[in-house]
Amino acid sequence: MSQFLLLGAMFVVLYFFMIRPQQKRTAETKKLRESLTRGDAVVTIGGMRGKIVELTDDSVVLEVDRGTRLTFDRTAVSRKLA
């Protein structure tokens, strides 16, 4: 019986230290990507910084310099800049 309690306790610890934080990060990332608007300054997962000039359901066009526009998947956006 004590082996089952130990196994259950290990699962609870695993849940609170690994699974739950990952679910929170995933939800925050999804919320960020849904809230993107034209004019937002963002950073991609590759470190490219730019301003959003166009948005579609699955892609983002960033202006990284005057006249230089690059198209990225929406999932490539990692964070907004203040």
pLDDT for 34-53, tens place per residue?
999 999 999 999 999 999 99
Question: Could you give the CA distance from residue 43 to residue 59 in angstroms, rounded to a whole number?
Answer: 14
CA–CA–CA angle 47, 57, 79 (5° rounding):
25
Q: How many domains does the chain have?
A: 2
74 and 54 fall within a common domain: yes
Query: Which residues, 6 or more positions from 33, have their beta carbon under 8 angstroms from its beta carbon?
Result: 74, 75, 77
69 and 53 fall within a common domain: yes
Q: Which domain holds residue 6?
A: 1-35
23 and 49 fall within a common domain: no
15 and 42 fall within a common domain: no
Number of H helices, E strands in the chain: 2, 5
Q: Determine what percent of the chain is predicted with pLDDT higher than 70.
A: 100
26 and 46 fall within a common domain: no
Q: What is the CATH number of the domain that holds 49?
A: 2.30.30.30
* pTM across the whole model: 0.74
Burial class (CB in 10 A: 0-12, 13-18, 19+), 61: middle
Query: What pLDDT is stored for residue 79 in this prediction?
Result: 95
